[in-house]
Amino acid sequence: MRRIAFFKMHGIGNDYVYVDCFAEKLAVDPAKLAVSVSDRHKGIGADGLILISYYSDGALIARQARQVGLKQTICAASSVYSPKFLELGGEAVEDVHLGTRYFPQDPRPEVRKFIDGFKAKYGGQEPDAFNAYAYDAMNMAAAVLRIGGTDRRAIRDAFAKVHDVPMVIFGSATFDVESRRIKGAMNAELVIRKGQFTLWDGKPT
């Protein structure tokens, strides 16, 4: 049997085995692998198996999990946020939970303003997540340049001085110089219901 690289992580009383499917191409049934890996006597031992993958693999994993009778709630990463995930997964992805940084039905005022402005400028075209990320990046760059000017060292130092920059994805954003990330990134919690991505209402599926 071919070896598979993995990480095991634990926290707040739970432990999971992670496999990066971007680097590892699984030649086994993911659902059966989850059962064998999670076995605490014969396997690695974990509360579950997490496979990091895109929507095509994610849909296949969901279908195979349902085919072998696994009924547990499936949680996915934002990498499955695509209409193709719904198309390829069919009924198997119903009630799958996921998070995404950008969701066009998000009711937050900054999201609504961005979408309305984008559609007005580009002839009714709907913006996607990449448009939103680019818009936020330019807003952050502009805020930094207003403080640091065009000097490279001053620009670097200015990141520590920007606060509450209005953004679509990140809300009111402040740059964390230690982690080199935006503090308090917004996240839309979604669940698939009736074949559509919808905002999760907090009710169990």
User: What pLDDT does residue 92 have?
Assistant: 95
User: What pLDDT does residue 28 have?
Assistant: 74
Structure tokens at 67: 């085919």
User: What pLDDT does residue 20 have?
Assistant: 80
User: What pLDDT does residue 175 have?
Assistant: 82
- Min mean pLDDT across 83-92, 116-125, 182-191 is at 182-191
Domain locations in the chain as residue ranges: 7-101+187-199, 109-182
Pairwise pLDDT comparison (21 vs 57), residue with the higher score: 57
Q: Check whether 1 has a pLDDT greater than 60.
A: no
Q: pLDDT, tens digit, for every residue of 135-187?
A: 999 999 999 999 999 899 999 999 889 889 888 988 888 888 888 777 777 77
Pairwise pLDDT comparison (17 vs 25), residue with the higher score: 17
- In the chain, the percentage of residues whose pLDDT exceeds 70 is 97
Q: What topology does CATH give the domain 7-101+187-199? A: Rossmann fold (3.40.50)
95 in Cβ contact with 65 (< 8 Å): no
User: What pLDDT does residue 2 have?
Assistant: 67
For every residue of the chain, DSSP letters joined together read ------EEEEETTEEEEEEETTT----S-HHHHHHHHH-TTTSS--SEEEEE--HHHHHHHHHHHHHTT--SPPEE-GGG-SHHHHHHHGGGGTT-EEEES--TT---HHHHHHHHHHHHHTTTPPP-HHHHHHHHHHHHHHHHHHHHTT-HHHHHHHTTT---EE-SSSSEE-EETTTTEETT---EEEEEETTEEEE--S---
The model's pTM = 0.64
Pairwise pLDDT comparison (21 vs 86), residue with the higher score: 86
Distance, CA of 25 to CA of 4 (rounded, Å): 9
Q: pLDDT, tens digit, for every residue of 101-124?
A: 888 888 889 999 999 999 999 999
Q: pLDDT, tens digit, for every residue of 37-82?
A: 888 998 889 988 887 778 888 898 899 889 888 888 888 888 888 8
Distance, CA of 152 to CA of 148 (rounded, Å): 8
